[in-house]
Structure 1
Amino acid sequence: MNAVQPQHKKVSRRARLAVGGAVLGAVALAGIGAVSANASAPAKAPAAAAAVSAPAKATTTSTHLTIDAATRAAQAALDAAEKEHQRVTVAVVDRNGNTVVTLRGDGAGPQSYESAERKAYTAVSWNAPTSELAERLKQAPNLKDIPGTLFLAGGVPVTAQNAPIAAIGVAGAPSGALDEKYAQAGAEAVTGR
């Protein structure tokens, strides 16, 4: 059997040098072009680090109660309760239902801490006093199943331009009506009403 040997064409040394030189020249020119292109264009910041400005229609501004005002409101509610010898806890939440200030009066029961926060959360969520919301349970009993809420009197919203900006919850007095009376005293301390 005859083995077929591949045949190579003989290429002169001059031809090989010419082709190699042309290839090296092309690579060199491409590199120089890339370097000069990069040198002439300013470097861009990575996309993740670039600041992007949102159009005005895509943003909103909200009003929040300051920590000083929240503290004044809580102290006013606690003072009103103590004046009537009631042992309560007062909670002030912001527009988003996050607790800003909680004051637990001397002798307030352990259940009053969470109850005050939940009443405040409920009042700001619906922008209504919790005594009014407790009445709504008669038509919509499933409202009480919403996590974090408590539909007992004692929570009042604090508003600015008819929108809730905070709420005050009070718990621990012998009745929800008293809790709400003290919460209202706290709201009046910051709204002037």
Structure 2
Amino acid sequence: MKHVKKVSKRARVVSGGALAATLVLGGVGAWSASASSAAPAAPAAVKADANSDALMQSTHLTVAAATDAAEAVLDAAKKENQRVSVAVVDRNGNTIVELRGDGAGPQSYESAVKKAYTAVSWNAPTSELVQRLEKAPTLKDIPGTLFLAGGAPVSAKGAPVAGIGVAGAPSGDLDEKFARAGVAELAKAGG
């Protein structure tokens, strides 16, 4: 049997402290060695030139303006005792505002969005686009479109910026009349 020498408490504390110091310092040394051998930092991102031919600017309605237009539509419909839904979409067809008027039918909500999208996509009132279906009947197969009267485009600086779609009145002519009330509100607000 081996003889184990008793080590004093003080010797154990000193030995343990030395071991801990060695581990900590060794770890720091390894960390600093790996940090210094790391790959050089990536170059700063390249900035795009704002005057570049690769960039373009576009005009967009504010949420406040789109809301004002939608409310003007609902007010015009209410004056004629009609219950409609209205949607305002941006140039890319993304919905900015959707309002379902009190008592509007459940189908009117989706129809209003599709009419607005159709109007801005072709920059024409949807009542005119319905006539184009006679020569090109497959236009109606384009996803997200609805070729019924009730959509009106909104233009600014010679380019389409939005579409207003209305659905729920007994005729597309009334829907489009109310959509034009929204376009008129935007024209009035624009000065």
Pairing partner for 2:96 from 90, 95, 100: 100
Pairing partner for 1:52 from 47, 72, 76: 47
Q: Matched residue of 2:53: which SS? A: helix
Partner of 2:129: 133
Once residues 40 and 129 of structure 2 are traced to their aligned partners in structure 1, the CA distance between those partners, rounded to angstroms, is 55
Query: Percent identity between the aligned chains?
Result: 69
Once residues 156 and 114 of structure 2 are traced to their aligned partners in structure 1, the CA distance between those partners, rounded to angstroms, is 21
1:121 aligns with 2:117: yes
Within 5 Å, give how 1:1-193 maps onto structure 2.
45-46=41-42, 50-54=45-49, 56-192=52-188
Note the C-alpha offset of 1:45: 4.5
Amino acid at match of 1:190: L
Q: Matched residue of 1:56: which SS? A: coil
For structure 1, the residue ranges without an aligned partner over 5 or more in a row are: 1-37
Alpha-carbon distance change, 44 to 70 in structure 1, aligned in 2, over 3 angstroms: farther
**Number of aligned residue pairs:** 151
Note the C-alpha offset of 1:161: 1.9
Q: Matched residue of 1:181: which SS? A: helix
Note the C-alpha offset of 1:52: 2.9
Note the C-alpha offset of 1:50: 1.5
Once residues 86 and 65 of structure 2 are traced to their aligned partners in structure 1, the CA distance between those partners, rounded to angstroms, is 14
Q: Matched residue of 1:101: which SS? A: strand
Q: Which has the larger radius of gyration?
A: 1
Partner of 1:15: none
Amino acid at match of 1:63: T
Once residues 138 and 106 of structure 1 are traced to their aligned partners in structure 2, the CA distance between those partners, rounded to angstroms, is 35
Once residues 44 and 187 of structure 1 are traced to their aligned partners in structure 2, the CA distance between those partners, rounded to angstroms, is 57
Using the size of structure 1 for normalisation, the TM-score is 0.74
Regions of 4+ moved over 4 Å? none
Using the size of structure 2 for normalisation, the TM-score is 0.75
Once residues 81 and 41 of structure 2 are traced to their aligned partners in structure 1, the CA distance between those partners, rounded to angstroms, is 64
Q: Matched residue of 1:64: which SS? A: coil
Once residues 110 and 125 of structure 1 are traced to their aligned partners in structure 2, the CA distance between those partners, rounded to angstroms, is 24
Cα deviation, 1:61-83, whole Å, max 9, x if unaligned, reads 00001111000000000100011
